[in-house]
Chains A and B, each alone.
Chain A
Amino acid sequence: MAVEAKALHPAVDLGPVVKEMLQAGAITLALTVGLVGIETVESGGTLSFITRFGSVAWAVVLVGLGRGALALVRHRRPMPALAGALVVGVGLAFILLVVPDNSPLVDLIPFRHAVVNWTVVVCAAVVALRAGMAMRSQEAAAVADREQLMDRLGARVQYYSRFIAPVLVLAAVALPFFLERRYVDIGVLVMTYVMLGWGLNIVVGLAGLLDLGYVAFYAVGAYSYALFAHYLGLNFWLCLPIAGMIAASFGILLGFPVLRLRGDYLAIVTLGFGEMIRIILLNWWWFTGGPNGVHDIPRPSFFGLPFNRTPPEGTQSFHTFFGLDFSPTHRVIFTYYLILALALITNAVTLRMRKLPLGRAWEALREDEIACRALGINPTNTKLTAFALGAMFGGFAGSFFATRQGFVSPESFTFIESAVILAIVVLGGMGSQLGVVLAAFLLIGMPELFRELASFRMLAFGAGMVLIMIWRPRGLLAHREPTILLHRTPAGAGP
């Protein structure tokens, strides 16, 4: 479609546009001819293959057209690109939605899976949007412009976060009353990762120490509670601070050997530390239960009131004490509020720390360690406090995890957990508290909400990560507001 439209504007030099289209088509052909063109099918115990070269042809044509449209936008000819994208997008959407199955137009549907077809529609919409934006500004949107726009947006969000944050907190408090149990469960999961992200943000975002083994402290916290409850019968509220302290000591323990390391080397050692903890938990079977984990961890009580249907003789449970009918959602809602409170405490402490000398020293250490030493800042103590505080919050989250699941095993503390938590911090924008919430929702909440997409779920997850890294390489909300101002007017980030 873009091709016919181009003929109307002979002033544009079509050479480079066509070249780009052909290149994109060739790359698509090379990528898809084997992966899409041939499908193996199992029939009657034998493996054979069928060809889908029709899909390959569609892919080559559509990618080529899309590329051509983008090239036209860049050459300040958005009109034909907009027209072409609208024709493709609206046309395909029309066929997919309205046209009956027996119509000959159905042959124009390029791919077999609805999700893939809708992806084409979305891509066409994105191209149309960019062409439309380029038409409005009469300027091709340069990459630097977009970067600046996003930076300004990040700064704006950061500035208004003092208004956004209370609204979000209120929404989070109200959430369990409006949503069904499944969504509250997802909320608990997302909140756990928000808390872990905030904890790791102290180490990675503020102090700039790349920690790939954060899950170790999560595990230490979880096992501390599990084992104290199992062997000594201590309750959750007593174990929570103990678990935090034990995790903090482990943070210092890890901190000492890695004080001199930076960057890649630090990452490798912390990664090793994370694996060590997991393997110790796995092999110390006579104490930790090994791969079987620890069972029957007591559930949290509402300040001593358990959430049992039938409390033991002479005691009260939550619903009898408050005169309510028994409902299993009470416990879910309570765990939700518990993690919400823990996460908010983490956030409050982090925000406060940023305005204290220690927090400023963390950030200074991230910026330049040598300058810190020249100013008389003790780098050892400063780093260790960051490790300890980050680990403590990891330990709290771990205890919560243990009491929520009622069961812990080394399975839950693999490297991939560390990677996800780190991804939340990096994706959100290092050091940005609101960014962590957004990233945790995108990374944890979205895949949970869209379980219906089945196998496309992880594909979409990966694609989303790639897109964010292209558009916002420094994280979604990477903008730092000064912790102290001389002049009352904000947003003086320089020229």
Chain B
Amino acid sequence: MTSATDPALRVPSGARPLLSVEHLTMRFGGLVAVHDVSFVAGDGEITGIIGPNGAGKTTVFNCLTGFYKPTVGRLMLDGTRGRFLLEQMEGFRIAQKAGVARTFQNIRLFPGMSVLENLIVAQHNKLMRASGFTVFGLIGLPVYRDAERQAMELARYWLGKVGLVAQADWTAGNLPYGAQRRLEIARAMCTQPVLLCLDEPAAGLNPRESAELNQLLLTIKEEQRIGILLIEHDMSVVMGISDHIVVLDYGRKISDGTPAEVRADPAVIRAYLGEEESESLPPEVARDLGESLRDGA
């Protein structure tokens, strides 16, 4: 499953590949958090990464967004802003140049700043250029004022999308939990990314909020035509909206395909539910067993 002709390295729907992850391995000392994972995410599609706790999903995200330097592997982004090898870029440049935006499993807003300010800060690089790296802004040139007005319009657009227009001037930390999750997505979208990475966006949401979130993600996909990478712990949430699902377990990819294919995959069922006989086996053996089963299927 590590050869270049691996069927894993194609998008099931045949969409143009946006992100290709090849042989990604991340070791922390003796611990292998991610072992030789390869997959492709299509442009304009929602790709779900699922797996049980500790499967290495967030580690993959951290490698993609530059918070970790992968031990081995190539991460290539081929979007509208050009081609980038993400593993060679400094953390903040991945967001700045390549256009990868992300949210966090435990929400990371700027809690003391207002909702609107959160969205304006997200447009920092654009505004920095418009303010002549502060010089024009300091002397109050109109070019900066126009740029700020445009930034505010973009912020208002996304506030409308996530239903927070009325709360725009609230302190972000005072928002209810579900609204904070939505604001974090709006903030990521304000960077105008080519790839949006969402780390368990439905965690802690009630069923109604969760359904609204799915709707929001589908809208983003339809209107912005960008790729979305979605980590979910809970399979049922992701099955409905994903075009393509990658399943990780113990740092390895155990399945890859359309939601229907993945749902039927015995290796996935085993990883989630466990099986009588495999429970007593050591994980290595159980995994080997799982691979042979899948190859057979």
| Bound: A415/B133 CA distance, A | 34
Contacting pair B110 A356 (CB below 8 A): no
* Given contacts A352-B138, A357-B137, A494 and B175 within 8 Å (CB-CB): yes
Q: Does A174 contact B (CB under 8 A)?
A: no
Assembled-state Cα–Cα distance A96/B127 (Å): 66
User: Is B191 positioned at the interface, with any CB of A under 8 Å from its CB?
Assistant: yes
- Is A379 among interface residues, defined by CB-CB distance under 8 A? yes
State the interface size on chain B (CB cutoff 8 A): 51
A379 touches B113 (CB 8 A): no
Report the minimal beta-carbon distance from B107 to chain A, rounded to whole angstroms. 9
Q: Which of B96, B117, B134, B168 contacts A356 (CB 8 A)?
A: B134
Name the residue among A371, A372, A495 with the largest chain B CB count within 10 angstroms: A371
- Segment of A123-131, A139-147, A362-370 engaged in the interface with chain B: A362-370
- Cβ < 8 Å to B, chain A residues 333-383: 349, 352-353, 356-358, 360-361, 363-364, 366-368, 370-379
Shortest Cβ distance from residue B176 to the other chain A in the assembled complex, whole angstroms: 9
B169 touches A376 (CB 8 A): no
Question: Chain B, 110-142, contact with A by CB distance < 8 Å: what is the 0/1 string?
Answer: 111110110011101101100101100110000
Q: Is the CB of A375 within 8 A of B121?
A: yes
Smallest beta-carbon distance B117→chain A, Å: 6
- Could you give, for residues 480-495 of chain A, a 1 whenever the CB lies within 8 Å of some chain B CB and a 0 otherwise? 1011111101101111
Q: A432 to nearest B CB, angstroms? A: 13
* Cβ A357 vs Cβ B127 within 8 A: yes
Q: Say how far B113's CB is from chain A's closest CB, in angstroms.
A: 6
Smallest Cβ distance from B43 to chain A, in angstroms?
A: 20
In the assembled complex, the Cα of A361 lies from the Cα of B134 at a distance in Å of 12
Q: How large is the interface on A (under 10, 10 to 19, 20 to 34, 35 or more residues)?
A: 35 or more
B117 pairs with A360, CB closer than 8 A: yes
Distance in Å from the Cβ of A159 to the closest Cβ of chain B? 13
Q: A374, B101: Cβ atoms under 8 Å?
A: yes
Q: Which residue in chain A gives the minimum CB-CB distance to B107?
A: A371
B95 at the interface (CB under 8 A from A): yes
Whether a CB of chain A sits under 8 angstroms from the CB of B156 is yes
Say if the beta carbon of B32 comes within 8 Å of chain A: no
Q: Which residues of B contact A368 (CB under 8 A)?
A: 108-111
Return chain B residues, CB-CB under 8 Å to A485: 114, 116, 168-169
Inter-chain pairs besides A376-B92, A493-B171, 8 sampled, C-beta below 8 Å:
A358-B128, A371-B108, A373-B91, A374-B101, A374-B104, A378-B96, A480-B171, A482-B117
Give B residues with C-beta under 8 Å from A.
65-67, 91-97, 101-102, 104, 108-114, 116-117, 120-122, 124-125, 127-128, 131, 133-134, 137-138, 144, 148, 152, 155-156, 159, 165, 167-171, 174-175, 187-188, 191
Task: Please list 26 pairs of residues, one from A and one from B, whose beta carbons are closer than 8 Å in the complex, sorted by A's number.
Answer: A349-B138, A352-B137, A352-B138, A356-B137, A357-B128, A357-B131, A358-B128, A358-B137, A360-B124, A363-B110, A368-B109, A373-B66, A374-B102, A375-B188, A376-B125, A377-B96, A378-B96, A480-B171, A482-B116, A484-B114, A484-B116, A486-B155, A486-B159, A486-B165, A493-B171, A495-B174
Interface residues of A (CB under 8 A from B): 349, 352-353, 356-358, 360-361, 363-364, 366-368, 370-379, 385, 480, 482-487, 489-490, 492-495
CB-CB nearest 6 A-B residue pairs: A494-B174, A376-B96, A376-B95, A486-B168, A482-B114, A367-B110
